[in-house]
């Protein structure tokens, strides 16, 4: 088999996992949040944390590896404008994603405590959810921009 084709395939699969998992997590967390039911929020947040750890983390680690190997195999320089901009956006995405994972774990804990104590969600939950949402939007938009850059490979003068 063609190693370039395998690398492209793995890289595209990784991009699909990042986009799909991100969109799915955002959708399910938002729908659970809207119920205001601590049981639903606790259950959903538990699945979301697991999905982020299993899928997103794996893709986050493998994506730059497959990307660098693919660029080297195809003779592309990592300082080509679209690649450099993609890497900057990738780091930016990570800077937003890391706090999101921490917040999801905290949201899950708040919901679990509310279930155990048979209370509503505390005000801190709402503040953290807003922070989660505020971090998620730019991270998701950055992933969309990276995908566009990968497909269009525009001539961008960065250096």
Asked, for residue 14, whether it belongs to a domain, the answer is: yes
Report the distance separating Cα 159 and Cα 153, nearest Å.
16
pLDDT band for position 4 (cuts 50, 70, 90): confident
Asked, for residue 100, whether it belongs to a domain, the answer is: yes
Asked, for residue 11, whether it belongs to a domain, the answer is: yes
pLDDT band for position 159 (cuts 50, 70, 90): low
Asked, for residue 157, whether it belongs to a domain, the answer is: no
pLDDT band for position 60 (cuts 50, 70, 90): very high
Please tell me the predicted confidence (pLDDT) of residue 1: 81
Which conformational region is residue 81 in: left (phi greater than 0), alpha (psi within -120 to 50 degrees), or beta? alpha
Asked, for residue 158, whether it belongs to a domain, the answer is: no
Number of structural domains in the chain: 1
Please tell me the predicted confidence (pLDDT) of residue 18: 94
pLDDT band for position 19 (cuts 50, 70, 90): very high
Report the distance separating Cα 132 and Cα 125, nearest Å.
10
Mean pLDDT across the stretch 29-46?
97
Phi, psi (rounded to 5 degrees) for 157: -90, 110
Q: Are 10 and 64 in contact (CB under 8 A)?
A: no
The DSSP-derived string for 86-128 is HHHHHHHHHHHHHHHHHHHHHHHHHHHHHHHHT----HHHHHH
Note down the domain range covering 17.
3-151
Radius of gyration, CA atoms only, the chain: 18
């Amino acid at each position: 088999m063609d190693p370039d084709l395998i690398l492209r395939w793995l890289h595209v699969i990784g991009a699909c996992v990042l986009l799909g998992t991100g969109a799915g997590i955002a959708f399910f967390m938002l729908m659970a949040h809207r119920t205001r039911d601590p049981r639903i929020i606790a259950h959903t947040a538990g699945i979301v944390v697991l999905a982020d750890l299993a899928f997103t983390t794996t893709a986050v680690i493998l994506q730059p590896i497959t990307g660098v190997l693919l660029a080297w195999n195809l003779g592309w320089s990592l300082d080509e404008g679209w690649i450099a901009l993609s890497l900057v956006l990738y780091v930016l995405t990570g800077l937003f994603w890391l706090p999101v994972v921490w917040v999801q774990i905290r949201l899950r804990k708040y919901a679990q405590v509310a279930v155990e104590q048979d209370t509503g969600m505390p005000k801190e939950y709402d503040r953290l959810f807003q922070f989660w949402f505020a971090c998620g939007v730019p991270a998701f938009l950055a992933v969309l921009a990276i995908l566009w850059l990968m497909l269009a490979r525009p001539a961008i003068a960065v250096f």
